[in-house]
Structure 1
Amino acid sequence: MAGPIIRTYKGGSIIYFEKDRSEDIYVLRQGRVVLTYTAIDSGYEVKEDVRLGEFFGVKSALGKYPREETAQVVGGATVLVFKLSDFETFVAEKTHLILKMMKVFSSQLRLVHKKLREILGQAEARNPAFELMNVAEVFYKNNNFEHAAYGFAKYLEHYPSGAYAGRATELQDLARKGTPYPINMPPLVYDAASTRAPMSQENLQNIMKPATEKTNLGAGTDNTITSLYNRAHTFLNVGKFEEAAGIFKDLMVRTDFKYDSEKKLVDNALFQMGVCFLKLNNLDTASNTFSAYIKKHPSGESVKESLFHLAEIAEQQGDRQRAGMLFGKVALLPPERDSLSQKARQKAKELST
C-alpha cells in the first residue's frame, strides 16, 4: 500500500469545491477546515467544522458522485490525503472504523429523510412512484445517462398515467441522446395525489385539455398545484406554449398551498410564463415577465435563469452592450461553476470582442 500523503494548506485555501469530482479522502491532522453546504430544510448556507482526526470527503469518494460541500481551510491546516484504493486497503483490516462510518452514514441518512418528510409535511415516506422518478433524475444530473434512461423507462412502465409521465418521457428522450440535464427543468416536487390509483381514460383526457377548456371539469380531475404545474410544463415541453401560459397564469393567483414546495411552484409560475412568451417569440412580453419575476422574487430560485433569458433577449434585439452586461452578471451569481455560468461567461466573452 502506498499510503496517504501529507498536504499543507494556507489559510483561505479551498481543498475542494461543491460539485467537484474526486476520489481523494481526507483526514484533518492539524489546523482548521470548514465544510460549507446548503441545508435541505431551510435552503440556507451551513458551515461545519471538521474535528481533528476526522475523515471528510468520504461519501462522495466512495459513491463516486460530486462533492456535496466546499471544504475551505481557515488559518492553515495539514491533512492526510488517501487515494480511494489506499483508503479501502487501510480500512479493510480495521473493522471498528467500518462500523463507525456505517453508523455515521446511517444516522445522516435518517436525518435527511426526517427533514425531507418535515418539509413535505409527511408522517410517512414518499410513495414509490416519486422515489423511482427521483432516483432517475439523480442519475441524470450526474451525467449517468444510461441508468437515468433506464429509470425513466421503468417509471413509464409501472406508472404510464402517473403524475410525472410527461416529465419522464421528455427526460428519457434527452438522456438517451446524451443531452445534459436541462437547466430550465423545474424541480421535481412530491405530489401526494400521485399515490392514488391510475386515472381513468376520461379523466386523463380532461387533464390534457387546455386551460380554457377546464372550467367545467368533473370533480375527479386533479387540480392540485403540483399536478397543474407538471401539466403546464408538459404542455411547454411539447410546444403548446399558449396552453402552458394559461395554466401558469392560473397558478400565479393560487393561495391554497399547504407546503413550502407548493408555494415555490406558485412563485415560479411567473418565470415559466416568461419562458412561454420567449418560446412564442414575444420578446417584449417575455422581457417584462422575467423582469417582473426578478422584482417580485429577488431571492427566487429562477432569478439567475431569468437574467440569462433577459441577456438572450437583449442580444436578439441587437443590444450587445446590455446583453454582455447581463451575461457577465449571470456568470458571477452562485453557483459560479455550473453550466449556466459557463455559458454566460462564454457569451460575455463573445460579445466583448
Structure 2
Amino acid sequence: MGIKTVKYKANSIIYFKGDVADRVYILKKGSIVTKANDLKTNEDLLSMIKVGEFIGVKNVISRQPYSETVSTLTDSELVVFYKDDFEKFILSNSRIMMQTLVVFSNQLRRIHRDIKELNNSKEHTHSSSDIEKDLLDLGKYFLKQKKIESSNYCLEKYLEVYPRGKYVDECHSYLDTGSFVEKEEKEQILEESSLNFQEGENYLDENNYAKAQECFQKVIDAKDGYRLTDTLFYNGVSLYKLNEYKKCIHNFSDFFSKHKDYDKILDVMFYVGSSYMGLGDGAQGSKFLKQVVKKGEGSPIAKAAHKELKG
C-alpha cells in the first residue's frame, strides 16, 4: 500500500483504543495527544506527541490492538506506514530499530514498576502476563527476521525486567537459538566472502577488472572483516584499472591512517597519486608519486611513479 502523508483536521480521531493495529504513524506537523489508562489511578492519562515521534509501533510489532486513543489538537500532518511497509522500513534501518526498541523497553519498565507498586499496595490486582508476552513476542519476531541483535535486546530486556517471569525459560531458549543462528550466519558469510575474494583474484589475473571489482565489493559489503586490507587494496587496483579515479581515491581514503604498515603501502600511494593525475590534479598527484620514488628507490613501483611524473 506504500507510505503516504495524510492531513487531519483539528479534533480528529486517528484511531481508538482497541482498533486493529495495522498502521504506524509519524507526526510531521501539528499537535497530537494520546489518551491511555493509568494503571495506578485508573484515570485517563494524556500525553503529547512531539514532531518526528512514532505512534502505534508497539502495537503493530506485537500484533496487539492499539492500547490508546490518538487524536489531533490542531490541524496536523502524519506520515502513515502500513504494517508491511513499516516492517520493511524498520528492518532495513538499524538506527531507527534500536531507537524504537529503547522506547518500547522503557515503556515496559515503567508499566512493570506501576504494576509492582499496585501489587505492593494490595489495593489492586493486575496481571502483567500480556505485557510480558509482548516483549517475548517482539524478541521472537526479530529472531524470525534473523535480526539477532534486536532479538537479543528484547529477550535480555525481558530477563532484566522480569527475572522471575513466566516466560524466563522460553527467553533463555530463544537466546540460545539466536546464538546458534548468528554463528551459522557468520560462518556462511565468511565462506561466501572467501569465495568472492578468490573469484576476484582470478578475475584480476585475467584483467577482467569490472568482474574483479564486483567480487571485492561484495566482500567489503559483507562487513565481516575477511582479509579486509587485501580486499580494499585489490578493490582500489580494480577501480584504478577501470579509470574510476574518484572511486579509487575514496576507496583508499582511510588506508594511510588505518593500514599504514601494509606491505603494499607504496603501491597504494602510487594508485592514489596516479588517480589524482588522471583527474588533472597534478599538484596533489605529484605529492604522492614523489613519496613513492623517494621511499621505494630502485623498486619497480618507484620506477613506475617516476615514469608517471615525467608524463
- How high is the TM-score relative to the length of structure 2? 0.39
Q: Which structure has the larger Rg over C-alpha atoms?
A: 2
